[in-house]
Structure 1
Amino acid sequence: MERWLSVPRFSVYLAAADADRGRALALYEWNTQISAALLHDLAHVEVGLRNAYDRALSDRWPGPPHWTLAGDTVFAPVYRTRGRRRVDVNERPRDNLRQAIGNAGGPAARPGKVVAELMFGFWRYLSSAAHEKTLWVPALHRAFPRGTDRAAHVDGPVGRLHDLRNRVAHHEPLLTTDVAGRFADLLGLASRLEPRLGQHLQVTSNVSRLLTTRP
């Protein structure tokens, strides 16, 4: 088992299984199953989030050009003090957007293709406090129902789900992760984006079942 998993990786599961090698392998198998189940659910939420944000940004910056080609306007420089430095918090989104345009085929690419090329990390940081006045208030709050709190209902859950996605995408252990709490974040965000999405995940997700079968 160590030959394909590596000694350091398998040791995490051995420790959790009190050195029982059979139980440790069963625990590793469970970890891969629940990671796959979470990726299924996260895929729905990520696509739902980016499409909701695309609509909200398109309504605020109707163009032409599409907002993805107007990055210098949508993500105009906004400076914040970080320690002793002044930092443009929109520099990274502009860079992400330029890279996505290039990956999509250049400025002539369809907007939908550019949107699809943007990583979850791009969408995740659009709800941060640094973008509250420039993006949340004029545009992104419209992606959610009235009464949605930016920090509590969106930025907090999206940040935790982004961290979770990175862990499962890199096949990391979830043995000490509050998976039930992250699943609650996922369902809450999905239901705010689109109630039918939340209902769909309630029916199709395997996460709750797998939580009850942990070795």
Structure 2
Amino acid sequence: MEAWLSSPRFSVYLAATGADRDRALALYEWNARLSAALMHDLAHVEVGLRNAYDGALSARWPGPPHWTLAANAVFAPVYRTRGRRRVDVNEKPRDSLRQAIANAGGTGAPSGKIVAELMFGFWRYLSSAAHEKTLWVPALHRVFPPGTDRALHVDGPVGRLHALRNRVAHHEPLLTTDVAGRLADMLGLAARLDARLGQYLQATSTVANLLTSRP
């Protein structure tokens, strides 16, 4: 098992099971199943979020061209002072768009393909405080029901889910992760995006059941 998983990785599960090797392997298998279940749920939330944001940005910048090809207008330079440096907070989104366009096959690619090439990290930061005046107020707040608080109901949960997704994608242990809290984040965000999405995720998620079957 050490040769397969590596001694450092397996040692985490050994430590959690009092050096019981059979139980440690069972715990590793449980962690893998939990990760797969979380990725299932995260995929629904990520796709729902990006399509909702795409709709809001398309309404705000109807084009032509599509907003993904108008990065200099949608993500015009906005400077913030960080330490002793002035930083353009929109430089990274513009770079992400350029990379997505290249990955999609160039500027002639369908807009939906470009949107699909944008990683979760791109969408995650659109709700940050740095984009409140330029994106949230004029466009993205329209995705959510009245009374939605940007920081509390959107940016906080999306940030935590982004961190969880990175952990799951790298096959890391979830033994000390507040998975129940992250499930609540997903269900809450999904319901704000679309009540039917929230209901569907509630009905199809297996995460809660898996949490009760930890070895």
Normalised-by-shorter TM-score class: over 0.9
Q: Distance in 1 between matches of 2:137 and 2:23?
A: 51
Question: What residue number does 1:78 align with?
Answer: 78
After superposition, residues 1-215 of structure 1 pair within 5 angstroms as 1-215=1-215
Cα offsets for 1:156-192 (capped at 9, x unmatched) = 0000000000000000000000000000000000000
Q: Report the TM-score, using the length of structure 1 for normalisation.
A: 0.99
4+ aligned runs moved over 4 Å, structure 1: none
Mapped partners of 2:48, 2:3: distance in 1: 40
- Following superposition, the deviation at residue 193 of structure 1 comes to 0.4
**Alpha-carbon RMSD:** 0.4
1:114-168, CA deviations, whole angstroms, 9 ceiling, x for partnerless residues? 0000000000000000000000000000111111000000000000000000000
Partner secondary structure for residue 187 of structure 2: helix
| Displacement of 1:100 | 0.4
Q: How far apart are 1:72 and its partner, in Å?
A: 0.4
Measure, in 1, the Cα distance between the counterparts of 2:30 and 2:167: 15
Given the two structures, how large is their TM-score scaled by the length of structure 2?
A: 0.99
Amino acid of the structure 2 residue aligned with 1:204: T
Pairs aligned (count): 215
Aligned mates of 1:196, 1:88 — CA distance in 2:
38
Instruction: Show structure 1 runs of 5+ residues with no match.
Output: none
**Paired residue type of 1:143:** V
Q: Identity across aligned pairs (percent)?
A: 83
Alignment partners' CA distance in 1, 2:66 and 2:145? 25
**Deviation by residue 1:75-119 (Cα, 9 ceiling, x = unmatched):** 000000111100000000000000101111111111101000000
Counterpart residue type for residue 172 of structure 1: E
